[in-house]
Amino acid sequence: MRNVAPVFVDIVKRVRGVCLVDAYRPPQIGEGGDFFNTVDYMTYQNKLFLAGSFVDASDGGTFEVTNPRDGSVITAVASATEDDIKKAFDAACEAQPAWAKTSPRHRADILRRAYEEIMERKDEIAELMTLELGRALPDSQGESVYGAEFFRWFAAEAERMSGDYRLAPTGNARIVEVQQPVGPVLAITPWNFPLAMGTRKLGPALAAGCTVVLKPASKTPLTMLLLAEILDHAGLDKGVVSILPCSSSALEPLYSDPRLRKLTFTGSTAVGKELATKVPTARVSLELGGNAPFVVLSDADLDTAVEATATAKMRGAGQVCIAANRFIVHRDLRADFVAQVTESLKGTEYGPLSGDDQVEKVTELVDDALAQGATLVWQDEVPETGSWFPLTILDNVPTTARMYKEEIFGPVVAVYEAASDEDAIAMANDTNFGLAGYLFSANLQHALDSAERMEVGMVGVNKGGISDAAAPFGGVKDSGLGREGGFQGIEEFLERKLMSLPAPAAK
């Protein structure tokens, strides 16, 4: 993070003109002082990035962005109107033909330059994410690198798109397949990964040759606006990307626009299903809710499972779609697992929840589990101000508890006992969700057999981390459609066109 003195802030305001740069002295966050104490001021964008320029909303409207650690207001951000969104989408549609015709190398170079600037500014980006999201700084530092990787990965994929050429089995035609961009994209990102959810959608879309209008979450728009600045610095063609903080209702006219060719959404299952019905003529990819099982089989190495718990559960204070939700442990290991996890997680650094609404939901789920007989093993202490929920460890949670079926999205370790390994897998699959799961067994054959039976899109086997820009990310059942990342990620933004040619001439 660069140290920006007040005089420099004033100079930036005058020279850049189109973007408002505010000075903000970050508070000391948490007793551990997990903020950069040497940084006095921060700069950030709080205007719309509309077709390549930072501008006010057409009606001058704004909304406040707050720090959930203490409820303080960070800034007021421009709120796009329907007219702003129409203007941005018109620009995207106008830019689409020329952008699609650019060379793969041109698109790759832009993404690569953007990757390099993210890495150069990774500390600044991490601090900004911690400021608006409130989470522990190490989590934000990890996301800075993780989010950058999607631009590096898809910069390479832009140059490796392939088609097909073959003779029809009957011998009467040549079959030629070419890949072309689907067209203008609407991307909607969630608040819990302010950088990575944007790069995971923008990377493949831009690599494929698609223009994009992106709506960031209202809770965390600042990181996406900083990413817009980075893309602009990287030489992105005007009109190709617009990043527009706005209310969900402002997007309504866009859903029925026949020029919209692709919707990519990450968020709740209910909202995702509703959006899919609004765009019947557009391709849709959805990354939705989860209810991840963390399965500890009878032959698991307990130390490995305990160590993995921190990664699988505590990133973002549990506010991660692939966070372990149900710790399903074989009865022979349950007591030792609970005791070791409790000691392991004490002193864990984590941040607040995204807002008081989330605190209320997690509180309801924990109260319900306790009322139904769950045992409170341990609960942390947290600050009285801000949207905090304490790290909570529950044992003997009954399967009738709401949290068995509902995503917790908070720092709650809920342990369920499985009578056998068969029961553990059955419990893991006893949900309408199927995004991610975790499985622990010291026997490789047993682990693979069991992982293949889990009804999820991704399984971490003997590890608590899953996500990788080079791997496909997505779920089954009510957890979504399509895949992001990996070789498959760019396919979501490409159409295959058949060109049928005459057969070879007879000799």
Q: Are the CB atoms for 348 and 135 separated by under 8 Å?
A: no
The CA distance from 33 to 250, in Å, is 39
∠ CA 64-68-74, rounded to 5°? 35
Residue 186, amino acid: L
Question: Which of these is catalytic: 117, 127, 287, 455?
Answer: 287
Q: Are the CB atoms for 392 and 443 separated by under 8 Å?
A: no
Q: Which two tokens mark 83?
A: 């007219």
Closest Cα partner for 291 from 201, 451, 414?
414
Distances (CA, A) of 91 to 85, 88, 99, 238, 388: 10, 5, 12, 9, 42
Q: Are the CB atoms for 220 and 133 separated by under 8 Å?
A: yes
Is position 287 annotated as part of the catalytic site?
yes
Strands 433-434, 476-477: pairing is antiparallel
Distances (CA, A) of 281 to 82, 105, 126, 270, 381: 21, 31, 38, 20, 50
Q: Which two tokens mark 423?
A: 């029961």
Kindly tell me the burial class for residue 392, based on how many C-beta atoms sit within 10 Å of its own C-beta (0-12, 13-18, 19 or more). Answer: buried
Among all residues, which ones are annotated catalytic?
Answer: 287
